[in-house]
Amino acid sequence: MSYKDIIRQLRLLPEYIRISFLQIAENKIQLFGAFFTTSINLVLYILFWGVITYQIPVLTGFGWVTWGQGELTFLIGMTEVAWGFGAFAWMGIWQIHWYITEIGIETFQIRPAGSIYQILATSLWAGGLIQVVVGGIMLSLSVLTFGLIVTPFSIILGVSALLIGQAALYLLWSCLCCLAFWIGKNEGILTISDALEYNFARMPIDIMPIGVQYFLLFVFPVIFISTVPTMIILNLIPLNFTLLYIGIASLLVIIWLIFLRIIWSRGLKHYQPVGG
Amino acid sequence: MYKKPLYRPRKGAARRFVGFLKREKQTIRALDDVTFAIHPGECVALLGPNGAGKSTTVKLLSGILHPTSGQVRLFGIDPYHNRIDCAMRYGVVFGQRTLLWTHVPVLESLKLYQKMYDIPKPVFNERLKEFAEILDIEQHLHNAPRRLSLGERMRCEIIAALLHQPEVIFLDEPTVGLDVVAKKRIRDFIRRVNHEENVTVLLCSHSMRDVEELSDRIILISRGHIRFDGPKRQLKRQWSNERKVKILYKRATTKGWKRQLQDLPGVINLEVNNGQITCRINQTQIPISVILQTAMALLEVDDIEVTEPNLEDIIRDIFGAENRSLNQTMEAH
């Protein structure tokens, strides 16, 4: 794929986003559903952490991070923002194996754009942005209520960490989903991803044993979904560690992009079209 | 070539368990020794029974599949390894799949394709207007495909495949499930694009009417092998010696005329209905002139019409004979 092709494909992104919003406009009920579930989820998380912090007023980290009620509330908001953005931008990865085994990838392969790019772009779900908005409100409230200190610079760094970290995590899942070329349907892998994200992304990771932390940092980088961005935005870790985290996430993005390209191109040779 | 799991009933729990763990697989050659070249501007029909390898051929040519051996060249390059370059120059219509977003107006999908194929806006607007007028779907461009009928949607699909002025278009069952009016409109449009824009067309269709009206050359494919590759007329000459003769007459001049005609060698069947005789003859056994002379001697003839058999009959005969010989071989084994 030439440089010109990459630029042309990036120029398509606003069009895909526009179509995603048009699709949502056709199904408005979905938006209300997303708003409702997000709000209920938030209340449940707040209750959950309320109970925890009632028992232990301050969770002390293994390192220098101390998680008080304010930080935890911020983390809940950040989790919603991260999940909302994930639902918006990365919904397509959950469909890769489905396209390979059931729908067929022909309609993507005949177009002059990368097939995985098209699958992701076609599956952009604007409804996820509702979750981002609700999470954003939660973040603002936690900052105002608990007097957390946030700077524009830390926000930029935190958002960068979030976006790069999500790319690292979801590219890994994309690689695993592409195994469908060889093993057929593999929803089980997606169940693991759900379990990991649900159980670890919304927890202050650094209260866990160091081995688990490394696992969630280098193997399944769930830590980048919300914990790292929260720590960066709230200035809970020094700048050099912030840059280290962003560096690790960027490295993982490059590694998984290379793997994804290799797996996809090899997998295509095993592709058996659906229905002939 | 691909591997297909075999679902064979097994006796005994142990064998079933082994079969569950390790499924037997059969290697299938979807295409074998298939060689052909298509020249610019040609309209070629790829025909064959279900599972013959037609769609696989289209998928190889469009770079979706990679051959296990042999070479595929489109525009002189390998379409699999140069997929994006080739995709900019060809268009595909899959009758069974949609290239449009189901829930947003057709126009929005087409606008995306305009950017994807780098079509200049004036060219896009001009072609869209022209195609929409010809195919009579201007009013449907603002509807989502899910609200359109199959025929309307298919016309939109064809526009989506042709807006970027492709040099080649692959049509895989473009008229499947459509009514006669929609079929005709689509056929006329494809013919026009083929003649006026010199677009090369490769048509896979089970509708012989499509093939009769659109293509000049036919490639017959069966069980992954090419059975015939040549002009439509040659196929008719090569595979069918039959002719259909219609004779309109006022009255008979001789008694027992029907029997006399029926008994001529090479007359396959003869029907008489309201002053019209319809019969099928085998040309290798009897020249048409003999039939005509005999009919004129026996009847007061008003009009005579001799027609070639239609493509559907020929194709049915070819593949029917092939199936019969395969069944015989299997029985012998």
Q: pLDDT 10s per residue in chain B (333 long)? A: 656 666 667 777 887 777 777 777 777 777 888 899 999 999 999 988 887 888 888 999 999 888 888 899 999 999 999 999 999 999 998 877 888 888 889 999 999 999 999 999 999 999 999 999 888 888 889 999 988 888 888 889 989 999 999 999 999 888 877 788 888 888 888 999 999 999 999 998 888 888 888 888 999 888 888 888 899 888 877 767 778 888 898 888 888 888 888 888 888 888 888 888 888 888 888 888 888 888 888 888 888 888 877 777 777 777 776 666 656 655 554
Instruction: Please tell me the predicted confidence (pLDDT) of residue B116.
Output: 92
- Is B66 within 8 Å of A111 when comparing Cβ atoms? no
DSSP secondary structure letter of residue B167: S
Helix (H, G, I), strand (E, B) or coil at A15: helix
Could you give the count of Cα atoms lying within 13 Å of B205 in the half-sphere of its Cβ?
30
Instruction: Please tell me the predicted confidence (pLDDT) of residue B327.
Output: 60
- pLDDT tens-place string over residues B75-86: 999 999 999 999
User: How far apart are the CA of B59 and the nearest CA of chain A, in angstroms?
Assistant: 8
* Res A143 pLDDT > 90: yes
- pLDDT tens-place string over residues B245-263: 888 988 888 888 888 888 8
- Is B115 within 8 Å of A12 when comparing Cβ atoms? yes
Q: How far apart are CA A243 and CA A246, in angstroms?
A: 5
- Is A273 within 8 Å of B65 when comparing Cβ atoms? yes
Give CB contacts under 8 A, 24+ apart, made by B138-141.
B140/B106, B141/B105, B141/B106, B141/B107, B141/B110
* Res A57 pLDDT > 60: no
Answer yes or no: is the ipTM higher than 0.95.
no
**Among chain A residues, CA nearest to B110:** A15
**Cα distances (angstroms) measured from residue A241 to each of A157, A248, B87:** 12, 10, 46
- Is A106 within 8 Å of B59 when comparing Cβ atoms? yes
Q: How far apart are CA A214 and CA A36, in angstroms?
A: 35
Q: Are B136 and B185 in contact (CB under 8 A)?
A: yes
Instruction: Please tell me the predicted confidence (pLDDT) of residue B324.
Output: 64
- B55, B90, B108: residue with CB nearest A19: B108
Per cent of chain A over pLDDT 70 is 94
**Among chain A residues, CA nearest to B85:** A112
E strand residue ranges, A191-266: none
A183 burial class (0-12, 13-18, 19+ CB within 10 angstroms)?
Answer: exposed
Give the lowest-confidence range in A74-78, A222-226, B299-303.
A222-226
- B66, B88, B94: residue with CB nearest A268: B66
Q: A15: which chain B residues are within 8 Å (Cβ-Cβ)?
A: 111-112, 115
Instruction: Please tell me the predicted confidence (pLDDT) of residue A271.
Output: 87
CA nearest to B58, candidates B35, B30, B32, B92: B92
Q: pLDDT band at A52, cuts 50/70/90?
A: low
Q: pLDDT band at A256, cuts 50/70/90?
A: very high
One DSSP character per residue, A26-73 reads HTHHHHHHHHHHHHHHHHHHHHHHHHHHHHSSSEEPSSS-EE-HHHHH
Q: Does B103 touch chain A (CB under 8 A)?
A: yes
- Is A109 within 8 Å of B63 when comparing Cβ atoms? yes
Q: Are A107 and B99 in contact (CB under 8 A)?
A: yes
- Is A112 within 8 Å of B56 when comparing Cβ atoms? no
pTM given for the model: 0.82
Q: Are A110 and B86 in contact (CB under 8 A)?
A: no
User: How far apart are the CA of A109 and the nearest CA of chain B, in angstroms?
Assistant: 6
- A5, A26, A109: residue with CB nearest B104: A26
Q: pLDDT band at A16, cuts 50/70/90?
A: very high
- pLDDT tens-place string over residues A172-189: 999 999 999 988 877 777
Q: Which residues of A touch B (CB under 8 A)?
A: 1, 5, 8, 11-12, 15-16, 18-19, 22-23, 26-27, 104-107, 109-113, 122, 268-269, 271-273, 275-276
